[in-house]
Homo-oligomer: A and B are copies of this chain.
Amino acid sequence: MVEIITIGDELLIGQVIDTNSAWMGRELNLAGFDVQRITSVSDKKEEIEEALISAAKRAKIVLMTGGLGPTRDDITKKTLCEFFNTRLVFNDQVFKDIQEFLRGRVKNINDLNREQAMVPEKCQVIRNARGTAPIMWFDYNDSVVVSMPGVPSEMKIAMSGSIIPRLKDKYTPGHIFHKTVLVHNIPEAVLAEMLSHWEDNLPKHIKLAYLPAPGRIRLRLSGRGDDLNLIKTGIDKAVDALRPIIGNNIYGEEDLSASEVFASFFKNTGKSISLAESCSGGYLAHLITSIPGSSKYFEGSLVTYSNKMKQQLLGVKPEDIQEFGAVSEPVVEQMALGALKATGSDYAIATSGIAGPEGGTEQKPVGTVWMAWAGPGKKVVSKVFRFGKDRERNIVRTGETALIELMQRIKEGVL
């Protein structure tokens, strides 16, 4: 029903990752619209044209992002004029909006800004609340083409505020319902075998997908149809049957990131948390603080990258670093207890590992990560993990695993 076209050379040569289409896909899906294809093309006129023509053949709704900035590499508007057999006209309202937007931001409105107020005669203009590029909505037959800027914040406001509501008015999408179950610590093939029988018994209108992420798998159940209650009941029954099969390795039942699950777990406990980070290097703190309201339970993190800092700020014993190395059980446990002491928080997490690519040894290869979790009464537990060779992935896995495992230990009463 929907196709998305993202425009820009920068997407094709990999200088920019296309995050817009994923966001749009998610929002459209929640609104009951199916995205059937995403196409990224260059700023070349013939490429945009070809993509638009073939998308419009397949899909009723074509949403385009990008190619609308004030600079010269943008030719989307001209292509739209040709497609709709129309011409560019100066739009007073758009120009007023641009002037308003730029007031206080730039000294003078320049020619390029003025050109942005030129829009195809046949389109309806949707106002851009966050930038200077107008959003253009074209109705034709029973179809719609919308062109919007590629700047994520501008696109998002336009989609949520105007485009999705208008699409809902114009089309009445069918019901769609997703439920995502978050699983960790089970490899994909093992999980697939565990679930084989259960999967065979899923009703036909419910679809299952495995979405692997570093160290985790999200199981997504999707149902579609006219009766939303029927779909929901079917999915709820399926999840009820799933729980005893996977047990404790389920750490959430909403499509949330590890930090979102953590935030919703912690925010009502009245407890506080602090961190002592070595190999996660601030990423664990970032995971926690990326969630609004985290200041309610997060005291802070001591990112002690050097051994000197581990000793000075966390009170790790130099002789233990000497004897066992910084990546070791005694050191990581002292780090966690040191964070409790330095911050006075209820819980603490510590990480110390070899993220790579350098620094591995035979006994402690790259990917070796010690974690410790400390709680009330100076109780502390720790565990070693063997992740992979990729630095970025090791940092991400360390962060997410540390959060999930702390929640499990609290739930199990270990801490």
Contact = CB atoms under 8 A, between A and B. Distances in A.
A346 B76 CA distance: 50
Given A211-B15, A220-B10, A299 B308 contact: yes
Q: Contact size class for A?
A: 35 or more
Interface in A286-324: 286, 288-290, 292-295, 298-306, 308-309, 312-313
Contacts of A9: 209, 222
A19 B21 contact: no
A25 B14 contact: yes
A15 B218 contact: yes
A353 to B, nearest CB: 12
A86 interface: no
B41 A40 contact: no
A70 B37 contact: no
B211 A16 contact: yes
A358 B24 CA distance: 25
Interface in A151-192: 151, 153, 178, 180, 187-190, 192
A248 interface: no
A287 to B, nearest CB: 8
A313 B342 contact: yes
A260 to B, nearest CB: 13
B39 A13 contact: no
Interface string A24-45: 1111010000111111111100
A12 B41 contact: no
Contact of A209 (B10, B24, B289): B10
A199 interface: yes
Contacts of A21: 14, 18, 40
A85 interface: no
B12 A37 contact: yes
Contact of A38 (B40, B189, B355, B388): B40
A317 to B, nearest CB: 18
Interface in A39-61: 39-43, 47, 51, 54
A70 to B, nearest CB: 4
Contact of A36 (B42, B113, B255, B289): B42
A89 interface: no
Contact of A106 (B19, B106, B132, B187): B187
Interface of A is mostly: mixed
Contacts of A151: 212
A277 B300 CA distance: 9
B303 A282 contact: yes
Interface string A182-218: 0000011110110000010000000011111100001
Contact of A303 (B211, B222, B301, B355): B301
Interface of A: 9-19, 21-27, 29, 34-43, 47, 51, 54, 69-73, 105-106, 110-113, 132, 151, 153, 178, 180, 187-190, 192-193, 199, 208-213, 218, 220, 222, 255, 275, 277, 281-286, 288-290, 292-295, 298-306, 308-309, 312-313, 342-344, 355-358, 388, 390-393, 395
A-B pairs with lowest CB-CB distance, top 5: A282-B285, A281-B289, A14-B26, A14-B25, A282-B282
